[in-house]
Structure 1
Amino acid sequence: MSLELTPVQAIACCSPLSRVPLSESEADGIVPLLKALGDPVRLRLMSLVASHAGGEACVCDLNDAFELSQPTISHHLKVLHEAGLLDREKRGVWVYYRARTDALENLAALIGGKSL
C-alpha cells in the first residue's frame, strides 16, 4: 500500500520574522551572543543579573540560585562578559555584573525584526 501525496498550496499566514536578512557582519556580531546564551546556566545568570534590583548583581547574590560551585558560576559570568553581554566591576573582594543594554537591544532587534 502506498501513500499518495498531493501538492499543498502555500498560504501567507504571517509576516516575515525580519524585514531584511542579516548581513554577514551582523550575523558575525550576533553569533557570540547567542552562543553565550545557549547554555541554560548562562541564560539564567543573564536573566538574574538583568532583573536584579538596580540592574546589577554581585557574584555573592547569584551563587544561591544554582547548585554549582562559585568558581563555576564565575566561569559562566566570564563567558557572558567576554561575549559582551555583561559589564563587570570589582568592588573590594566582590565582582558586580551589569547587563549591557546595547547588546540586549541588538538581540531584541534581531528577534523583533528591526534593523540593527
Structure 2
Amino acid sequence: MRDDDIANIMRALGHPVRLEILRILATQQQGQCCCADVTESLPLAQSTVSQHIKVLLDAGLIDRKPHGTRNRYCIRQDRLAEITTAFGGLLKGLAPGAANKESELA
C-alpha cells in the first residue's frame, strides 16, 4: 500500500463520527445498512451522515451496493486486511528498536 493511500485512510479514520459509522456497520446483522439506519443511531442530520459516509467511501473503507431506491453500505473486509498489514509495517518501521526494548523488558 502506498503512503498516500495510508495517509488518506488515516484522514478518514481521524474523525470520531466516521469511527462510529464503522462500528455501526460492523454490528449490523446482515453486514450492511442504509444511510437512514446509520442516521437513526447518531444525533446528526442525514446530510452530515452522508458527508461522512462519502469520506469513508472515497478512502475505500466501505462499499456501496444499490438496493431498490436506496444504497446499502458495508465495510470492505479486504481493505481492512490491507490496512492492518500496512499499519503494522508502518509502525514497525517507525520504531525499529521497539522489538529490542520489548525483549529487554521480558
TM-score (norm 2): 0.74
Unaligned runs of 5+ in 2: 91-106
- Aligned to 2:2, the other structure's residue is in SS state helix
- Tell me how large the CA RMSD over aligned residues is: 1.8
Q: 2:63 aligns with which of 87, 98, 106?
A: 87
2:25 matched residue in structure 1: 49
- Aligned to 2:43, the other structure's residue is in SS state coil
How many residues in Structure 1 have an aligned counterpart in Structure 2?
A: 90
Unaligned runs of 5+ in 1: 1-24
CA deviations over 1:38-82 (Å, ceiling 9, x no partner): 010011101211221121111121112111101111111011001
Letter in 2 for 1:80: L
- Aligned to 2:60, the other structure's residue is in SS state coil
Contact 1:60-1:94 within 8 A present in 2 as well: no
Instruction: State how 1:77-116 maps to structure 2 within 5 Å.
Output: 77-113=53-89
Q: 1:40 aligns with which of 12, 16, 22?
A: 16
Runs of 4+ in 1 over 4 A off after TM superposition: none
Identity of aligned residues (%): 37
